[in-house]
Structure 1
Amino acid sequence: MDKVKVLVVEDEIIVAHDIKARLEDLGYGVTGVAITGEEAIEKAEYTSPDVILMDIALKGNMDGIQAAEVIHEKYDIPVIYLTAYSDDKTLERARVTQPFGYLLKPFDEKELRSNIEMTLYRHNQEKAKHQESEKWLTTTLDSVGDAVIATDTEGYVKHINPFAEALTGWRKENAISKKIGEVLSLKSEVSEDVLEDPVQKAIREDIFYGLAENTLLVSADGNSTPVDIVGSTIKNENKEIIGIVLN
């Protein structure tokens, strides 16, 4: 069985190497030690740890909370905060980044192991729940009798159903991860102008019915079809926008 990989982010070098040694004694693999928030983000991307131990009070332009926020959004790697601070203001800032645990310095090996194991369990449960939710969403979108495209909040295509494939001329395997403007080419029949990005319009208005009168969709083979686009946001349980559905 592969070792659980841990990234240590701690700007006190002696403390960092002590944590590294204790992790290795407990049977974990350490992918590296980072001493700044920027280095933590870089090593999170290139070493792909299973969990990150993140000191909150990092020196420099980016503290541990800011680094954890970027890592959470970009890489979905669970973070356990290491801190000597337990004041309400610091903890409130930390909570926004959805950490999986806190270790108050100094901590012992038992606390270290239990936090890591509980974090891995919770993260795996959340991933399984998310995958089941995505499977349900895909099945639902494929069964809709209209053309439907789903994107993330940056406008990258995450799903396109068979009706939308036929309408746009894009096969699913080619459309996924493309920007919506490449797959859904829209213009005004009257002015020939390219229309507003429907993803940004949905984010701004939450839901919209139609981009403009006489909207044309230009398919991959150059054919134009009159369409009436409806856009709405997909939100998680915290009411945060996580995607857009266009049909």
Structure 2
Amino acid sequence: MVENPGNFSQSRILVVEDESIVAMNICERLKELGYEVADVVSTGADAIKRAGELDPDLVLMDIVLKGNMDGVETAEKIRNTYDIPVIFLTAYSDNDTLRRAKITEPYGYILKPFEQRELLIAIEIAVYKHELERRLKASENWLLATLKLMSAAMITTDINGTVTFLNAEAAAITGWTMKEAIGEDIAAIFNVSPEDPVRKVLQEGMVISKNSLLTNKKGLQHNIDFSAISITDESKRNMGVAILIHNASGD
């Protein structure tokens, strides 16, 4: 018997398999590995229903299921509705099946018959990957909320000068909403004279400017002070630019 050395041995797993003998074998293997079987269902409709009721850590999904929905369609609905990772279990490996399965962004794909160690590795990787993604999303949401709550006007761009964020204060000054600004070139949104801050920051690392003239979306002009700094990753590579606008006053 393969032992589970990971930190996710208490993970709760929903098994979706329409062959009762195969389902029983899968459940036995999961229990031997230290996992909890949340439930076993045989149709896509039941899988979606139980996923919502049980909130399992993972779904093991056979691609070929009884009923109107196959495993691929079921996995897509579970991912979109509940954000639960899915691993496909199947005896089919034809190109069309693989193509359809890939579109649903599964966390793993195991061909039957499989070894217990294959099952263990696939589950541990899937649960760990999903946990990392969840933490990253929470961190991104926290950062976005923080930026939105800042009293100072802020705009961020990528290294190409494409706007990636604009808070309410910056929207009020520039005349552009965040929805309108995202994806636009910074020169159109932050139309200042006499300099292009993004290109200068990427060269020098920081720009502090006083008495600049900003022309907003409606053509109105503001005298502003602003500072701009480069955004870098852990390797000190430039990822973009953050612009902070101070002391804006309309003319």
Q: TM-score range by the shorter chain?
A: 0.5 to 0.7
For the 8 Å contact 2:148–2:168, the answer to whether it is kept is no
Cα distance in 1 for partners of 2:49, 2:130 equals 21
CA RMSD of aligned residues (A): 3.2
SS in 1 for 2:60: strand
Cα distance in 1 for partners of 2:28, 2:37 equals 9
Deviations 1:125-163 (A, max 9, x none): 1111111111111111112668xxxxxxxxxxxxxx999
1:14 and 2:26 aligned: no
Cα distance in 1 for partners of 2:149, 2:112 equals 51
Cα distance in 2 for partners of 1:120, 1:65 equals 19
- Name the amino acid aligned to 1:33: V
Deviations 1:177-210 (A, max 9, x none): xxxxxxxxxxxxxxxxxxxxxxxxx7xxx99xxx
Using the size of structure 1 for normalisation, the TM-score is 0.58
2:132 maps to which of 125, 145, 156: 125
Cα distance in 2 for partners of 1:131, 1:124 equals 11
- Name the amino acid aligned to 1:28: Y
Identity of aligned residues (%): 47
Cα distance in 1 for partners of 2:95, 2:27 equals 29
For the 8 Å contact 2:13–2:37, the answer to whether it is kept is yes
- How many matched pairs? 161
Cα distance in 2 for partners of 1:63, 1:53 equals 13
- Name the amino acid aligned to 1:56: I
- Aligned residue number for residue 103 of structure 1: 110
Stretches of structure 2 that go unaligned for 5 or more consecutive residues are 1-6, 154-166, 170-178, 185-251
Bigger CA radius of gyration: 2
Using the size of structure 2 for normalisation, the TM-score is 0.57
- Aligned residue number for residue 27 of structure 1: 34
Q: How does 1:131-150 map to 2 (within 5 A)?
A: 131-143=138-150
Cα distance in 2 for partners of 1:21, 1:137 equals 44
Question: Structure 1: which 4+ aligned runs deviate by more than 2 Å?
Answer: none
Cα distance in 1 for partners of 2:44, 2:75 equals 8
1:89 maps to which of 96, 102, 118: 96
- Aligned residue number for residue 208 of structure 2: none
Bigger fraction of residues in strand:
2
Cα distance in 2 for partners of 1:103, 1:21 equals 17
